[in-house]
Amino acid sequence: METRPGNDRTELLGMNLQELEIVVENLQLPRFTAKQLARWIYVKRCSDFNAMSDISQKGREILADRCVIGLSAAIKTSKSADGSKKYLFAARHGFVESVYIPEKDRATLCISSQAGCRMGCKFCATGGMGFKGNLSAGEIINQVLSVEESDRLTNIVYMGMGEPLDNLPAVMKSMEILQAPYASAMSYKRITLSTVGIIPALKRFLDESSCHVAISVHAASPEKRALIVPAEKAYPVKEVVALLREYDWSHQRRISFEYTLLGNVNDSTQDAIELAALVKGIDCRINLIPYHDSGRGGFSPSSAEATEKFIKILEQKHINTTVRRSRGKDIDAACGMLSAKQTNKRNA
């Protein structure tokens, strides 16, 4: 169980119902207090024990003395001209960012699982930060509960800062709580995890979760991918795809492959042919992502002509292909741009 640095009070955010029951039992409070706490924290997003009106006054005093809720507001909010918003949160190991993306039929929050990242992808600003530390389940959930749009979110994507499968225990626990009926009760169909493909953790995730998966490919050629995504050396994309072929993708769970188009690097006809061959026979979607300048790697976006040609080749191979629309580029919130570098300003 988590405790706040510098004191011995137990942090409740990030606990599941069973853990909350242990807390209230240790505090000699009624067992049903655990469900009350879960509702106040995860449903009502309450950050003050005194406001928990259905818990006895004595119970609230005991909880305030021995526990801390753990919810914390963003320290900065940036709004894009396109309506998306970037939130900056303080975590134990540094700062992390989340991005809210409103659309006509959905409201998506892109959340972080780590401060920084170990994967070092060459086009990604987060990769340039290095690894600062894993987020706890509570720090992950805090992003969902503390954005202004929390009560209208329809989708959660673990595509922010960090590699989710490099922090699998906390990520899985956060997903468990988000889906729990006593908490957010979000359907697994509304949650997607993005990963470069850490194979042992990916297998566990596929076996224990029904949430959607997005694999960061960025090049189908092993040699070329290793130059862009260093994790290729430890977890070859061909082995990742071989693992995926062991699972059924024809029903509720979806698999997609993310591919950032880099001008004159991975956007040739041959690159498209190799990508099509890599995913052949899998019921999937290819998400082509425009490159957003992160200040790393010296890359440039693919030309419109190269992008159209790439799409045409994939469609000729009968592969469902979309181009992700850039959102939040003007506030450094688009794919590959998160770095939590603005820590000294509030509510820009």
The DSSP result for 236-304, as a single string, is: -HHHHHHHHTTS--SSS--EEEEEEEBTTTS-SHHHHHHHHHHHTTS--EEEEEE----SSTT--BPPH
pLDDT value for 300: 93
pTM here? 0.93
Residues in the annotated binding site for [4Fe-4S] cluster: 117, 121, 124
List per-block mean pLDDT (blocks of 10 residues) for the chain, which spans 348 residues: 62 98 98 98 97 97 98 96 95 95 95 96 90 97 98 96 97 98 95 98 97 98 97 98 93 92 97 98 95 81 96 97 86 73 45
Amino acid in the structure at residue 319: I
Residues in the annotated binding site for S-adenosyl-L-methionine: 162-163, 194, 216-218, 292
> Which token pair is 279?
């995913």
Cα separation, 186 vs 166, whole angstroms: 23
> Which token pair is 241?
């795809």
Torsion of CA 134, 140, 143, 144, to 10 degrees: 160
Please tell me which residue in 2, 97, 139, 232 is annotated as part of the active site.
Answer: 97
pLDDT value for 342: 54
pLDDT value for 333: 64
Residues in the annotated binding site: 117, 121, 124, 162-163, 194, 216-218, 292
Query: DSSP secondary-structure letter at 9?
Result: P
Cα separation, 114 vs 106, whole angstroms: 25
pLDDT value for 208: 96
Cα separation, 229 vs 197, whole angstroms: 11
Q: Is 46 a catalytic residue?
A: no
pLDDT value for 340: 73
Q: Is 284 a catalytic residue?
A: no
